[in-house]
Structure 1
Amino acid sequence: MEYLQAEKRLSGVIESMRFPLIYLVVIAHMVSFDTPTVTLSWNSEDIYTLISEMISHNLARLSVRCYFLISGYYLFKKLVEWNSSVYVGQLKKKIRTLLIPYVLWNLILVGVIFAKHYIFLKFGLSVINSEAEYATIRDNSWYQLLWGMPINFPLWYMRDLICMTLVAPLFYYGFKYLKHYGLILSVVFYLGVHNTGVTGFSSTAILFFGAGAYFAMYKQNLLLIMAPFKNISMVLALVLLLISTLMNGKTYHEYIVRAFILVGVVGVINLFDYLNNNERLRTTLAKLAPTSFFIYVAHEVYIINWLKGAWTRLPIYDFGWGKLIGYFMVPCLCVLVCIGLYYLIKVISPKLLALLTGGRMSRFTYKERI
């Protein structure tokens, strides 16, 4: 009975997590891929760098890891007793929920880049930025655009999740025979900052999807496992977050941030378990949850970049405080635009929205989580 109640509560916690985690994905893309060093001072530029790096290059990395964990957990809840017909059924569902949206949103971005470049040329507008984007399309193969990069780069998570789903039998038999030792090996491999070098099989995906698979296989509810570490996980996560931020740009940053991620994932789940006691907050986040996937796949189709570009043209951007204000405002505006588009498409063509989101819509009965 305790397990069943915990599973019901876990479902609510995960529903509450979806929207805030997607906001973290969006704000992560407010800065470049570079990781500058952090300087502690009262200078507004240094404060901006400290906060933006702490969130975008450290804290925000928890979001995708949580999604991998959840995805592995829910897939293997259906595969606790191995059954090839159940597995094939899951693969068929993933074509609709993962593969089709993945291909469509990469193709959409390719089409938008082509259209922008053509329009800029036709009307004699500056093509400096559009030329660089167009060159990316022109100079790369379709394999690179749709898989190796991918062109809509946040979708690397979906690409890796597709791969994890395809090799689900290996996780099943691996954990069946190695048991918890298989999980320990994955943790050691991850903390050692190793990688497979094979596209779609990142150590991040292997560890966190695999951890979700392991806990589901052995009927270990995530909340029941993590609850005893509620306080220590949050305190340790904050300490490691600060250390990893201060290590930004230095040799051992990746080692520290990966340790933070392991503890931070536990802290995030415990945090939302606590926040779910607030009924109003829980209801609000549950209402926003269906928009999460659309925000994730759509925000990099120029939406966030145009908003960032507009903010940089304001006089306030020349100051550190202006950059800091924009750092939080632009993602909020981006999310609002995406939500507006979500509901606009839902009104105009619910079937199109269902196709673009893999059926992740509140009005549809199918609620497969990413």
Structure 2
Amino acid sequence: MPTEPAGRDNHLVRLDVLRFPLIVLIVYLHASGVTANFADGSRALVDARTVEGVQIVTGSIARIAVPLFFMMSGFLFFRGAAFSGEIYRAKLRSRAKSLLIPFLFWNLALFGLVAIAQGVPPLAPLFNGENQAFATLTPFQMIDFILGITHYPIAYQFWFIRDLMILVIMSPLLWLAARHVPWIVLTALTAAWIFNIWPTPVPAAEPTLFFYLGSFVAIRGWSLFEVDRLGSWLAVPFVLLLVALRAEQLAGHGNYLLHPTMAVGLVLALKASRWLAESAWLRDRLVALGSASFFVFAVHEPLVTIGKKLAFRALPMTAATVLATYAVLPVLVIGLALIAHRVLNVVAPGFLRLITGGR
């Protein structure tokens, strides 16, 4: 039976060193694309194959971040404690502070920002391209924009938190499944993810599978880092899968290799956490940056979208400028977010803890 690495801190530190790199991947994933939508129409790169080829590779690497975050969340939710009604209620109270309050704050804040900006002529083109005029929304539509009932919430990256909250509520069912029919449920969820067969958009198949997988590992008392035994030889198949995936997608043959690529990449990311944690210099800096990862996650949108629109409006739409925007914009956004996090941590630490769920 798999066993956990010696020392509780070692296990958690390896997860901690992954948080900031995974957030960087998410920012790059959201910065991809060769189109920007404005109120007066869209601007798009006509000959986008070169750029799309680069983004397929980088985007495929970045796609491992979301399932890995869900797997980490499921693992940490169930790790180290029996499950009972009392524990379930305590965890719900804890997640209300760490998930629900930040979810409501950031979506309400962005809703207010967009509502104001839509009425300011110089800003309106940056906010009206994809959003209905907020002055025309019905009460249900307003609630839907904030909570993401029928579509993404207005701060669309918070679909992750929305699905995570639902999975937390469902956790007694996941615990029963992991205790009594673990492999049947894991096989069914894996098939649903691979073949895109799923009855409901919320929570989606991918979050459910990987949250369950992390829960399964924790409930069984196993370690996420049993993948260490696979070794670094998986790097070669991962590169080959990336090359084949790029060719497949550019040829318009679909995404059949995407899920195998993500699975191998996820294992490599867990393996890489050992190398990162073994370097004291890297470990200390990544753990420190990890404390700001939720804040970066929360503020990177709409900053990335606005930055892309400003760049696409100001610069000629060529492959070089679009690639440069894709490379540089996430660095600028992450840098600004880290500065803002440090400032808030000095001038309003209590407020910062509230809006980041105590992180």
Percent of aligned pairs sharing the same letter: 22
**What does 1:20-99 align with in structure 2 at a 5 Å threshold?**
20-32=21-33, 46-56=49-59, 58-79=60-81, 81-99=82-100
Aligned-partner residue type, residue 347 of structure 2: I
What do residues 72-110 of structure 1 show as CA deviations (whole Å, max 9, x unaligned)? 00101144x321111110000000000110111111110
Asked if residue 156 in structure 1 is aligned to residue 159 in structure 2, the reply is: yes
Q: Which residue of 2 aligns with 1:307?
A: 307
Work out the CA distance in 1 between the residues paired with 2:351 and 2:6.
36
Q: Determine if contact 1:183/1:211 at 8 Å carries over to the other structure.
A: yes
Pick closer, same or farther for the CA change 1:230–1:6 going to 2, 3 Å: farther
Q: Distance in 1 between matches of 2:282 and 2:261?
A: 27
Long gaps (5+) in structure 1 = 35-43, 361-370
- Aligned Cα root-mean-square deviation (Å): 2.3
List per-residue Cα deviations over 1:194-226 (Å, max 9, x = no partner): 222242x21111110000000001111111x21
Match of 2:238 in 1: 237
The answer as to whether partners of 2:167 and 2:211 remain within 8 angstroms in 1 is: yes
Q: Are residues 307 and 251 of structure 1, via their aligned partners in 2, closer, same or farther at CA, if it must alter by over 3 Å?
A: closer
Q: 2:195 matched to 1:192?
A: yes
CA apart distance, 1:287: 1.3
CA distance in 2, matches of 1:50, 1:86: 48
Runs of at least 4 residues off by over 4 Å = 249-252
Structure 2 residue identity aligned to 1:135: Q
**TM-score under structure 2 normalisation?**
0.87
Runs of 5+ in structure 2 lacking a partner?
36-46
In the TM superposition, what is the alpha-carbon distance from 1:234 to its structure 2 partner?
2.6
- 1:74-223 equivalent positions in 2, closer than 5 A: 74-79=76-81, 81-120=82-121, 125=122, 127-132=124-129, 135=132, 137=134, 138-139=136-137, 141-145=141-145, 146-148=147-149, 149-199=152-202, 201-223=203-225
**Cα offset for 1:171?**
0.7
Letter of the aligned partner of 1:222 in structure 2? Answer: L
Q: What SS does the corresponding residue of 2:100 show, helix, strand or coil?
A: helix
Please say if residues 118 and 133 of structure 2, whose CA atoms lie closer than 8 Å, have aligned partners that are also in contact.
no
Further displaced range: 207-216 or 252-261: 252-261
2:33, 2:52 within 8 Å by CA — same for their partners in 1?
A: no
Measure how far apart 1:52 and its partner are: 1.8
Code of the residue aligned with 1:192 in structure 2: it is: F
Give the match for residue 325 of structure 1.
Answer: 324
**CA deviation after TM superposition for structure 1 residue 134, in Å:** 5.2
Instruction: State the shift of 1:313 in Å.
Output: 4.6
Greater CA drift, 345-354 or 156-165: 345-354
- Asked whether the 8 Å contact 1:299–1:338 carries over to 2, the reply is yes
Q: Structure 2 counterpart of 1:195, which letter?
A: W
Aligned to 1:16: 17
The whole-number CA distance in structure 1 between the counterparts of 2:219 and 2:332 is 41
* Residue identity matched to 1:71: S
- Structure 1 range deviating more: 275-284 or 335-344: 275-284
* Secondary structure, aligned partner of 2:239: helix
- The answer on whether the counterparts of 1:72 and 1:212 sit within 8 Å (CA) in structure 2 is yes
Are residues 275 and 46 of structure 1, via their aligned partners in 2, closer, same or farther at CA, if it must alter by over 3 Å? Answer: same
* Structure 1 residues 263 and 114, CA gap change in structure 2 (3 angstroms): same
Whether the aligned pair in 2 keeps the contact of 1:192 and 1:255 (CA below 8 Å) is no
Q: Quickly say closer, same or farther: Cα 1:338–1:252, change in 2 above 3 A.
A: same
Q: Shift of residue 325 of structure 1?
A: 2.3
- CA distance 1:112–1:210, change in 2 (3 Å): same
Which amino acid in structure 1 is aligned with residue 132 of structure 2? A
Deviations 1:55-85, CA, capped at 9 Å, x for gaps: 13x2211111110000000101144x32111
For the residue of structure 1 that corresponds to 2:31, the secondary structure is coil
Determine the C-alpha separation between the residues in 1 that align with 2:34 and 2:188.
Answer: 29
Q: What is the deviation of 1:129?
A: 4.1
Is the deviation greater in 59-68 or in 24-33? Answer: 24-33
